[in-house]
């Protein structure tokens, strides 16, 4: 008895040699995935190294590339390379320069490669990054090869998907565990040992040798420990700053005195460690930073400005996090149990300085009202002008960055000054130019200036005063301005 294919089966249509619908469907894939060429697949290699200081990019790249070459051996050759240096795995691909370039190349139909190969999962993905990236590879028909799979990933395989989830969790756990271990160790080294943990020494101190490194392996490599010691040139300046503050002088007055005495500012005193700073003069913020630094008490203090990770966009968590630094409250500081270096100020005096409060600006006295506060800018330097009270009138001025903490510059432009009552009568005309005639205001009537001010604040429109031409210009794409007549 001769066997024949069952009616309706896939074998039924094949015996005829006809190009049946079933045979055509089997040859047609959901996506046009790259097929091997005569000389094999063309691979793009992706690798990454997170830090240049603690890893050798050349060695790391060679190791990853070797693993990728072994994986694709016999299946094709590597024709393109994308390698990120100095970028953490926690960054999404779009924020790694070379990975972003690879994504751009994948979208090009003439990309020149058929598949992407990585030498190690952790060098490419972290957390749920693979789940976010897999649809892109699948969409563009680009295969993804990994050593952990032993070849290409099957994006439709449940087993492969489970393995990628496990690897992503392990990759994230490694980062989280390392962060916790490092921060815990640094806290213990500060609290128990008072160890200097790196960074620039505070102004007034210098680094000196403190013997072999506590870690015997590091000591065997020749590394040395360091500690802080008062700098004979700058330590007296720090002591003088604290003494002046305790005597009741403001930070601005102390800053002005330092500049008047031509004492080099911290960046000028140590230019090698402050190449990114101006080295020109003392600034108020510099004095405030010195007065707020508890390390001048002789205690080692860590975690004053810890790193935190904020979502770039809470509405799109796939963009990842950005690292930010915020000042910690004293309760969150880690302070050494014993003095770690010579003090430049006693703990009692340091605490007393922290309790001295400087009033923030001049308090507004009853009856004084500045209607245009926050709306005016200087037409000379672009700064926001200050409110001031002169001759029993509200007015506005700009000193072009000059403060009581800095010496007067003879080349500085003349202070800008304009009275509020010179501006208010011209605001209705400015409003008319901005919005056109209003149907709600009868002919011949004008808007009240306060209504115009409310409109400007609601629309977030600022006004720039040009003293040379006595014009008031609105900060809008279309130039709108009116002339201020001081005789009015």
161: pLDDT strictly greater than 70: yes
Q: What integer is the mean pLDDT of 49-68?
A: 86
Per-residue model confidence (pLDDT) at position 314: 80
Higher pLDDT, residue 322 or 225? 225
pLDDT of residue 432: 85
Per-residue pLDDT tens for 394-430?
999 998 877 777 666 777 888 889 999 999 988 888 8
Cβ pair 61, 49 in contact under 8 A: yes
Instruction: Dig out the tokens for 215 from the structure.
Output: 């870690």
Q: What pLDDT is recorded for position 401?
A: 79
- What pLDDT score was predicted for residue 447? 61
Distance of alpha carbon 445 from alpha carbon 429, whole angstroms:
11
With b for 16 or more beta-carbon neighbours within 10 A and e for fewer, the 327-356 pattern comes to eeeeeeebbbeeebbebbbeeebbeebeee
Segment 219-241 shows an average pLDDT of 92
Q: What is the 3-state secondary structure (H, E, C) of the chain?
A: CCCCCCCCCHHHHHCCCCCCHHHHHHHCCCCCCCCCCCCCEEEEEEEEECCCCCCCHHHHHHHHHHHHHHHHCCCEEEEEEEEEECCCCCCCHHHCHHHHHHHHHHCCCCCCCCEEEECCHHHHCCCCHHHHHHHHHHHHCCEEEECCCCEECCCCCHHHHHHHHHHHHHHHHHHHHHHHHHHHHHHHHHHHHCCCCCCCCCCCEEEEEEEECCCHHHHHCCCEEEEEEECCCCHHHHHHHHHHHHCCCCHHHHHHHHHHCCCCCHHHHCCCCCCCCCCCCCCHHHHHHHHCCHHHHCCCEECCCCEEEEECCCCCHHHCEEEEECCCCHHHCEECCCCCCCCCCCHHHHHHHHCCCCCCCCCCCCCCCCCCCCCEEECCCCCECEEEEECCEEEEEECCCCCCCCCCCCCCCCCEEEEHHHHHHHHHHHHHHHHCCCCCCCCCCCCCHHHHHHHHHHHCCCEEEECCCCEEEECCCCCCEEECCCCC
Cβ atoms of 117 and 72 closer than 8 Å: yes
The model's confidence at residue 289, banded by pLDDT at 50, 70 and 90, is very high
Whole-number Å distance between alpha carbons of 308 and 322: 8
CA distance 412 to 221: 55
pLDDT band at 315 (very low <50, low <70, confident <90, very high): confident
What band does 444 get if pLDDT is binned at 50, 70 and 90?
very low
What confidence tens digit (pLDDT) does each residue in 5-47 have? 444 444 444 445 556 777 776 666 544 445 555 678 999 999 9
Q: The pTM is what?
A: 0.64
Query: Residue 481: is its pLDDT beyond 80?
Result: yes
Of the chain, the percentage scoring pLDDT greater than 90 comes to: 45
* Per-residue pLDDT, 36: 53
Cα–Cα distance for residue pair 353/244, rounded to 1 Å: 10
Higher confidence at residue 337 or residue 54? 337
Better-predicted residue by pLDDT, 312 or 237: 237
pLDDT tens digits, residue range 85-136? 988 888 889 999 999 999 999 999 999 999 999 999 999 998 889 999 999 9
How many Å apart are CA 445 and CA 443, to the nearest integer? 6
Confidence label for 199 from pLDDT (cuts 50, 70 and 90)? confident
pLDDT at position 437 is 65
CB 343 within 8 A of CB 295: no
pLDDT higher than 70, residue 4: no
Mean pLDDT for the stretch of residues 251-270: 89
Query: Torsion over CA of 21, 27, 33 and 39, rounded to 10 degrees?
Result: -150
Q: Name which of 104, 171, 98, 97 is nearest 131 in CA terms.
A: 171
The domains located in the chain, with CATH, are: 41-171 (3.40.50.1390), 227-300+336-354 (no CATH), 376-483 (no CATH)
**465 CA to centre of own chain:** 34
Please report the pLDDT score of residue 79 as a whole number.
Answer: 95
Q: Give percent of the chain above pLDDT 70.
A: 85
State the pLDDT at residue 29.
53
> pLDDT band at residue 65, thresholds of 50, 70 and 90?
very high
- The C-alpha atoms of residue 64 and residue 147 are separated, in whole angstroms, by 10
Give Cα 327 to chain centroid, integer Å: 15
pLDDT at 137 over 50: yes
Residue whose token pair is 């003439």: 110
């Amino acid at each position: 008895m001769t066997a024949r294919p069952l009616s309706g089966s896939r074998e039924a249509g094949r015996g005829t040699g006809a190009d049946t619908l079933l045979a055509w469907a089997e040859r047609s894939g959901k996506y046009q995935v790259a097929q091997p060429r005569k000389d094999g697949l063309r691979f793009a290699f992706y690798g990454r190294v997170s830090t240049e200081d603690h890893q050798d990019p050349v060695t790391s790249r060679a190791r990853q590339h070797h693993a990728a070459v072994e994986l694709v051996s016999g299946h094709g050759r590597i024709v393109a390379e994308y390698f990120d240096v100095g970028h953490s795995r926690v960054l999404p691909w779009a924020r790694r320069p070379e990975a972003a370039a690879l994504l751009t190349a994948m979208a090009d139909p003439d990309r020149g490669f058929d598949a992407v190969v990585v030498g190690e999962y952790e060098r490419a993905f972290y957390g749920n990054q693979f789940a976010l990236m897999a649809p892109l590879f699948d969409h563009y028909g680009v295969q993804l090869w990994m050593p952990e799979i032993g070849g290409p990933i099957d994006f439709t395989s449940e087993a492969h998907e489970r393995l990628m989830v496990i690897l992503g969790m392990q990759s994230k756990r490694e980062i989280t565990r390392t962060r916790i271990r490092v921060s815990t160790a640094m806290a213990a080294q500060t609290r128990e040992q008072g160890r200097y943990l790196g960074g620039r020494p505070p102004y007034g101190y210098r680094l000196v040798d403190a013997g072999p490194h506590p870690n015997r392996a590091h000591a065997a490599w020749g590394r040395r420990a360091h500690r802080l010691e008062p700098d004979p040139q700058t330590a007296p300046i720090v002591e003088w700053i604290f003494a002046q503050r305790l005597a009741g002088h403001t930070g601005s007055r102390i800053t002005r005195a330092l500049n008047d005495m031509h004492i080099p500012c911290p960046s000028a005193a140590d230019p090698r460690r402050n190449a990114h700073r101006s080295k020109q003069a003392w600034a108020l913020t510099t004095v405030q930073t010195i007065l707020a630094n508890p390390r001048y008490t002789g205690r080692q203090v860590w975690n004053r400005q810890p790193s935190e990770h904020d979502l770039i966009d809470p509405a799109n968590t796939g963009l990842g996090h950005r690292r930010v630094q915020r000042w910690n409250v004293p309760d969150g500081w880690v302070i050494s149990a014993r003095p770690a270096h010579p003090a430049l100020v006693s703990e009692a005096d340091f605490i007393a300085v922290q309790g001295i409060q400087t009033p923030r600006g001049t308090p507004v006295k009853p009856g004084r009202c500045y209607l245009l506060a926050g709306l005016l800018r200087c037409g000379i330097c672009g700064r926001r002008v200050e409110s001031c009270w002169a001759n029993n009138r509200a007015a506005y001025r700009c000193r072009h960055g000059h403060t009581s903490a800095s010496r007067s510059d003879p080349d500085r432009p003349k202070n800008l000054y304009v009275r509020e009552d010179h501006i208010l009568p011209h605001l209705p005309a400015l409003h008319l130019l901005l919005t056109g005639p209003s149907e709600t205001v009868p002919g011949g009537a004008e808007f009240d200036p306060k209504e115009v001010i409310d409109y400007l604040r609601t629309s977030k429109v600022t006004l720039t005063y040009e003293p040379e031409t006595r014009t008031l210009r609105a900060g809008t794409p279309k130039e709108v301005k009116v002339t201020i007549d001081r005789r009015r």
